[in-house]
Amino acid sequence: MSDDFELDTDDLNRRMDGAIANLRTEFASLRTGRASASMLEPVMVDAYGSMTPINQVGTVNVPEPRMVTINVWDKGLVGKVEKAIRESGLGINPQLNGTIIMLPIPELNEERRRELGKVAGGYAENARVSIRNVRRDGMDQIKKGKADGMSEDDQKLWEAEVQEMTDTFIKNIDELLATKQEEIMQV
């Protein structure tokens, strides 16, 4: 490969890893009929003029397998937290008890399971798009190297390496999606 061109494959790899990590977080937020504190991670509350994660405005607990509770520290935010949960698309109906918000997790019906499977597919597609964007950045760097005098053979080698990295990460996303959809459809 050319001495004067060096593609930062570590950076591309790190950015693709970030897309996978984000996908895992989004998948963790999808409920599968069991209560989990992580299902509230993507829900943001308008607190003190900025969007804040729920776990920064209250204590999130899972006292039993089908119940999540949030003990909101500031009484003035209880309504905002409740509204954020209702509008989050989690399909949970919050119940207020003073500063404690109780989230009973209903049993998933077949229709809701299919819906969650589609949401998981959307998350996976967003991750694929992120991976392809990183791939495009790498390919743009290679094209710039070609314009700066890189040989065509070196260009092909770098492009093959970036494509192989992309294929590996896309395959990983597909495997994660298949696992999550199987988990969602379990009764």
Residue 56 lies in a domain: yes
- Residues 124 and 157 reside in one and the same domain: yes
List the domain range (segments joined by +) for residue 174.
9-26+109-185
Phi then psi for residue 116, to 5 deg, are -65, -35
Tokens 């977080």 identify what position?
25
- Residues 98 and 136 reside in one and the same domain: no
- Residues 89 and 121 reside in one and the same domain: no
- Residues 16 and 40 reside in one and the same domain: no
Q: What is the rounded distance in angstroms from the CA atom of residue 175 to the CA atom of residue 177? A: 5
pLDDT (tens digit per residue) in 137-183: 999 999 998 888 888 899 999 999 999 999 999 999 999 999 998 88
pLDDT (tens digit per residue) in 41-90: 878 898 888 999 988 999 999 888 888 999 999 898 999 999 988 888 77
Query: What is the greatest pairwise CA distance in the chain?
Result: 70
Q: What is the rounded distance in angstroms from the CA atom of residue 8 to the CA atom of residue 10? A: 5
